Structure 1
Amino acid sequence: ESIIVNDRIDELMAEKANKPYYIPEQEELLKYVEDSYFEKSPAYNKLYDYIKKNFYEGDDYKTQILTEDLQGICQFAFDMKLISACINNHGIVFDSQKQIQEVLQLVMNLSNNVRLWENNGHTPDELYKCYEKPNLRPLPERPFGFTESNVIDFIPSKKVGRNDPCPCGSGKKYKILIDKKSKLVIKG
């Protein structure tokens, strides 16, 4: 219903195009009968454990609420501003820049391991590993070698004065050629 109301159906169908469908095992599929169900990936569990240990001192309820909110943002409307607002709304105060980086890394890992409708149920990480990564060539062991013949040395040229010969090779003074160019009139 919300897709039709927002007139995004064409855009979402284009995003889904040519992607294979994720087919879960029957046991997993039956869990999706519950509207609020989502798969708790290892990335989700790592974020959950980090939040529980570092921010909520073992409070499972608060940890679950924040982690599920972050999961929802990753699944439905990933935006770093929303992630930041969500963390702030839950009263999280970071101890250091390092801790901010750790949390953001865990959130990014979660976002890459969330099943998305536009990916036909696959996670971004699954699509990358199955369809993009095999097509990538590894970097060479040695850096790219540039031979002397491939390198063009750009030597800064001397500024041409008005009374100097023109650099075009005509032998005329630069000021004469420039003066002729400036007096050109294009009839149209």
Structure 2
Amino acid sequence: MRVLIDDVKAFVYLYGRVPKATLVEVLNQVAERSMDERDLEKSVAVAELKNYGIKIVDSVYVSESFLSLNYSEEELQEKERQPYYIPSKSELENYEFPQYVEPTPASSDLYFFLLPRYLRRKKAWKITKGIQHYCRSSKGIDHLPSLFQRKKLKITHEEYPEFKSLIENVINQSRMYELNGHTPLELDWGIKLTLSENC
């Protein structure tokens, strides 16, 4: 049987921020539990959550990585209007780890595009995962050019259209904080990327 705190961690890492009432609802739905908010409070200690980079702010469970993005009140309200993605039990286990990003066809395509540019497969894979991690939020997407510079990624003028298209595909297949774990494609949001050729 899964431990409750593992499910709490997984949902908070997936959503970035989730009200307590919603968290109880999705926990009950996925694990076929029957608990209320008080049961959750009694079962999962605040101190234990802090060890995993999770805080409770005004009855809302928030990951530290989400807090660091400094969303405005308006952005948070827009997030709350989005439906919540409910993973299967087996899929939920993956999200227990804050750095987890779901493998997608788009991330695989990007990896094979990057592979010839690096001597080691591991480096190409790490950069692919790094790009995916940035794509978990629109604010992270804004910082992709700085990631490319740090990783000394060189894209020629001829390669640029393909590269831009690959990044857009990764974005549109990424589970995003703003969309409560949904991908832009799942909610019919096509995100287009503004990216300089001098990335």
TM-score between the two structures when normalised by the length of structure 1 = 0.58
**Kindly tell me: are residues 108 and 4 of structure 1, through their superposed partners in 2, closer, same or farther at Cα, counting changes over 3 Å?**
closer
Cα RMSD (Å) of the superposition? Answer: 2.4
Percent identity over the alignment? 29
Please tell me whether the aligned partners of residues 16 and 118 of structure 1 are also in contact (alpha carbons under 8 angstroms): yes
Residues in 2 aligned to 1:49 and 1:26: alpha-carbon distance in whole angstroms: 30
1:62 partner letter: K
Aligned residues: 125
Q: Of 67, 92, 95, which residue of structure 1 is paired with 2:128?
A: 67
Please tell me whether the aligned partners of residues 43 and 106 of structure 1 are also in contact (alpha carbons under 8 angstroms): yes
Higher Cα Rg: structure 1 or 2?
1
* Higher RCO (CA-CA < 8 Å; seq separation 6+): 2
User: Post-superposition shift, 1:5?
Assistant: 7.2
2:159 partner letter: Q
Residues in 2 aligned to 1:43 and 1:6: alpha-carbon distance in whole angstroms: 25
Unaligned residue ranges in structure 2 (runs of 5+): 1-54, 56-63, 191-199
Partner of 1:98: 158
1:128 partner letter: D
Residues in 2 aligned to 1:6 and 1:39: alpha-carbon distance in whole angstroms: 21
Unaligned residue ranges in structure 1 (runs of 5+): 133-188
Q: More strand by proportion, 1 or 2?
A: 2
2:117 partner letter: F
**Kindly tell me: are residues 107 and 6 of structure 1, through their superposed partners in 2, closer, same or farther at Cα, counting changes over 3 Å?**
closer
Shifted more, 96-105 versus 2-11: the winner is 2-11
User: Post-superposition shift, 1:84?
Assistant: 2.4
Q: Of 175, 179, 184, which residue of structure 2 is paired with 1:115?
A: 175
Residues in 2 aligned to 1:83 and 1:105: alpha-carbon distance in whole angstroms: 14
